[in-house]
Amino acid sequence: MTPFLVSDKWYDIRDLGNLSRAILEAADRILPFGVVYVLAAVLGFVASFLLFVLPSQLFVGVYGERRIIGRMQSRLGPNRVGPFGLLQPIADAIKLIQKEALTPTQADRAVMYVAPIIFVMPAVLLWAVIPFGENMVIADIPVSLLYFLAVSSLPVIATFMAGWSANNKYSLFGAMRIVSMAISYESPLVLALLGAVVVTGTISLSGMVAWADEFNIWMAFVQPLALVIYFICVSAELNRTPVDIAEAESEIVAGYLTEYSGMKWGLFYGMDIGYALAASGFAVTVFLGGWTFFGLEQWVPGWLIFIAKTHLFYFLFIWTRGTLPRLRADQLMAFAWKFLLPLGVFNLLIVSTERMLWAEQDYAKGLIYLFALINIVLSGALVYAWARFNGYRPERTPTRPRLVKQVGGYIPIEERP
Amino acid sequence: MEGFGPSLAFWVLSALTLIAAGGVMVSRNLLHAVLFLILTFVGVAGFFVLLSADFIAMAQVIIYVGAIAVLVLFAILLTPRSGRDNGETRWALPGILLAVCLAAIFLFVVHDTAWDTVGDAPAGLDARALGTALLTTWVVPFEIASVLLTAALVGAIMLTRSPEEEAEDALV
Amino acid sequence: MTPGIEHFLTVGALLFCLGLAISLSKRNAIGVLMGVELMLNAVNLTLITFSRFAASPNPVSGHTFVVFILTVAAAEAAVALALAVAVYRNRETIDVDRLNLLRS
């Protein structure tokens, strides 16, 4: 693509990749061979993780989430430490570091200590393939979508280790639940992403952004059902609150985190937010056009657009957390296998048919908008039809107050039919 | 495969993989053995990346770490008491001897053969070429593999049904 | 030392033999299965090594083989673990030494 007002100069801040490339080229002339690769990795880590992910995690994830949820629940949220309570996450971190990291006597010490470390590593690794701008991607590998899926299957092992090693009944329940959830929700997730892959014909995240830029349409319009399935599945895998049955405090004390305290717990808590941010960034890259915004990226730096979109997508996680009640374990399992998986298969069938038609026609470029329209209508119809087929009926909002037993609540034994 | 980086990566990966595989052998606790097994899988995926097979490496991590290891963990949790112990049978010594003899033969063959090799990675090793090969040349084995997966799915569900569930189904 | 085909094949061979030793010597059925998985991995490594290093007109064939081995490994793991669970339900053990009802 050749953007308007383009330049490859290092001072062009619309793409910080130019600046980092200039630095690396200068370093390559001075430093001995090979050191420049280490420098590139460090530069990418500093730029993406220390400058974006960690502050977002602290100030959007911890502070913003608590403030917004407080607002949703008609209370104030943290507002004492610093201006507007902005220093709350730092105070939290200091408190956590001071706390004693307890280990139960019967616990498996080595596994219990290693689990948080293994949990942190993939959260950092995930950012390696997310493009912040045209040249702003640490490792632009051709299979980056698969890389993301592969790396995001690692934290399940860490959470299992955490739950099992504590030698606590509730921890083990949490571990068991998280493992079963991960297995159940992985298949609809991959099916949903496969729809996007079929449309674009690439499994590289940069390629997906380039596709969205070329056709001037977001994948979310072509594949609305895939986005919905992706969002639900990723919330389930990341234990976000409406579906966080692995650490449901009303059922199993705190799930796999029951015996954790201090900074070991803090790493799990902080990196949960990190994973949700990474999932938002991935969703933005695949479904919402990444760092492009219909031409705006030639005026505003692309990485700012990307960061704004990521935080807006992360707001969806906060929103669902603030409004929806928690589901039961068996409901979630049935939902994955009976609802999301067939819908994913149907979606894949539809999109493959469209792709076949599309490949055979010459007037292809405009056809994608027609497909988007068809898909939006079809997705709604499909969700409704499959819900009807499974016997779900929409609950009508009662206009008059009803008795408990009229809505299926408790009926005394002598009155039961 | 020239340069300092790939060599270093090779030696680190081989140490990691073989030590982790040894850990599967010697650890007394079956859960620890599974964790070592996962480490071995990750190491082998690293080898695949080193051999410029990116797609296979990612598939290795997704399938082995994300699915098979998790299934093994499940099976261990579902078989309490006997599931924790990773001891040896009475036939351990002959088995290990056999493995050592086989290793000796393999090593002799590997180092005694004059391999006909190419230096650079051959072209056409990317995911697109693999997909094309799977759906043109190898399309019949591909279909058979999908049938096999379906059969395995049905078989696994049928095997693990409890007697109560079967009794319920018999009534209907 | 620059790693060549012999080095990768050596790692594959050692991994295979470790897997063989594990699957022959473990008492637990799940341990045996873990050995089998290690052997499959070693074979995958060997196939990819040949596909990368050997002079061949069609280097993707090795990758195709690995894809099929991955499928078979997944199917095998699912069925074998289901078998282990079913056996445990009937016999309260998955110790392969004690599953000897058919021995006269």
- Residue B120 distance to chain A (closest CA, Å): 19
Specify if A162 maps to a domain: yes
pLDDT in tens, B58-91: 888 988 988 888 888 888 887 776 556 777 777 7
Which chains contact C through at least 3 pairs of Cβ atoms less than 8 Å apart?
Answer: B
Is residue A180 less than 8 Å (CB to CB) from chain B?
yes
Average pLDDT in chain B: 84
Nearest Cα to Cα of residue A255 among A188, A324, A175? A175
What is each CA distance from B54 to A127, B15, B49, in whole angstroms? 18, 21, 5
DSSP 8-state secondary structure symbol assigned to residue B88:
B
Count of domains observed in chain A: 1
Q: Do C25 and B41 touch (CB under 8 A)?
A: no
State mean pLDDT over A248-273: 81
| Partner residue opposite C3 with nearest CB, options B10, B122, B148 | B10
Is residue C7 less than 8 Å (CB to CB) from chain B?
yes
Is residue C46 less than 8 Å (CB to CB) from chain B?
no
Instruction: State the count of interchain CB pairs (< 8 A) between A and B.
Output: 65
Write down the pLDDT at residue A264. 84
Nearest residue on chain B to C9, judged by CA atoms?
A: B110
Which pair of tokens denotes residue A259? 């015996």
| Partner residue opposite C45 with nearest CB, options B47, B138, B152 | B47
| Partner residue opposite C27 with nearest CB, options B44, B88, B151 | B88
Is residue C51 less than 8 Å (CB to CB) from chain B?
yes
Query: If residue A22 lies in a helix (H) or strand (E), which one and from where to where?
Result: helix A16-30
Specify if A396 maps to a domain: no
Length of chain A: 417
Q: How far apart are CA A227 and CA A192, in angstroms?
A: 7
Specify if A399 maps to a domain: no
| Partner residue opposite A182 with nearest CB, options B32, B38, B70 | B70
Q: What is the ipTM of this complex?
A: 0.87
Is residue C79 less than 8 Å (CB to CB) from chain B?
yes
Q: Which of A16-20, B96-100, B109-113, B150-154 has the lowest mean pLDDT?
A: A16-20
Write down the pLDDT at residue C16. 92
Q: How far apart are CA B35 and CA B72, in angstroms?
A: 10
Average pLDDT in chain A: 81
Q: What SS3 class is residue B117?
A: strand
Q: Which of A111, A141, A177, A203 to mutate to test the interface with B (most CBs of B within 10 A)?
A: A203
Specify if A338 maps to a domain: yes
Q: Do C77 and B68 touch (CB under 8 A)?
A: yes
Q: Which of A25-29, A95-99, B133-137, C4-8 has the lowest mean pLDDT?
A: A25-29
Q: Do B54 and A141 touch (CB under 8 A)?
A: yes
Write down the pLDDT at residue C17. 92
Write down the pLDDT at residue A395. 66
Range of the domain at A269: 16-387
DSSP 8-state secondary structure symbol assigned to residue A2:
-
Show contacts of A326-331: CB within 8 Å, 24+ apart.
A326/A241, A326/A242, A326/A243, A326/A244, A326/A245, A326/A248, A326/A250, A327/A242, A327/A243, A327/A245, A328/A245, A329/A177, A329/A245
Q: Do C56 and B122 touch (CB under 8 A)?
A: yes
Specify if A337 maps to a domain: yes
Q: Is there an interface between B and A (3+ Cβ pairs < 8 A)? A: yes
The confidence band for A258, taking pLDDT boundaries of 50, 70 and 90, is confident
Which chains contact A through at least 3 pairs of Cβ atoms less than 8 Å apart?
Answer: B
Neighboring chain B residues of A112 at a CB cutoff of 8 Å: none
Are C72 and B145 a contacting pair, CB within 8 Å? yes
Phi and psi (nearest 5°) for A294? 50, 45
Specify if A45 maps to a domain: yes
Q: Which of B4, B77, B89 to mutate to test the interface with C (most CBs of C within 10 A)?
A: B89
| Partner residue opposite A164 with nearest CB, options B4, B31, B70 | B31
Q: What DSSP line would sit under A319-336, residue for residue? A: HHHHHSPPPPHHHHHHII
Q: pTM for the full model?
A: 0.86
**For chain B, the helix, strand and coil percentages under 3-state DSSP, each to the nearest 5:** 75, 0, 25
Q: Is the pLDDT of residue A185 over 80?
A: yes
Write down the pLDDT at residue A1. 46
| Partner residue opposite B18 with nearest CB, options C1, C14, C83 | C14
**CATH code reported for the domain at C5-91:** 1.10.287.3510
**For chain A, the helix, strand and coil percentages under 3-state DSSP, each to the nearest 5:** 70, 0, 30
- Residue B74 distance to chain A (closest CA, Å): 8
> Hunting for tokens 């956590």 — which residue is that?
A96
Which pair of tokens denotes residue B37? 């097994």
pLDDT in tens, C64-73: 888 899 999 8
Q: Do A149 and B77 touch (CB under 8 A)?
A: no
Write down the pLDDT at residue A128. 83
State mean pLDDT over A74-100: 83
| Sequence ranges of the domains in chain C | 5-91
pLDDT in tens, C11-64: 999 999 999 998 888 888 888 888 999 999 999 999 888 888 877 777 788 888
Neighboring chain C residues of B22 at a CB cutoff of 8 Å: 18
pLDDT in tens, A156-167: 888 888 888 888
Is residue C37 less than 8 Å (CB to CB) from chain B?
yes
Is residue A161 less than 8 Å (CB to CB) from chain B?
yes
Q: Where are the beta strands (DSSP E) in A194-317?
A: none
| Partner residue opposite A183 with nearest CB, options B57, B65, B70 | B70
Q: Is the pLDDT of residue A6 over 80?
A: no
Is residue C14 less than 8 Å (CB to CB) from chain B?
yes
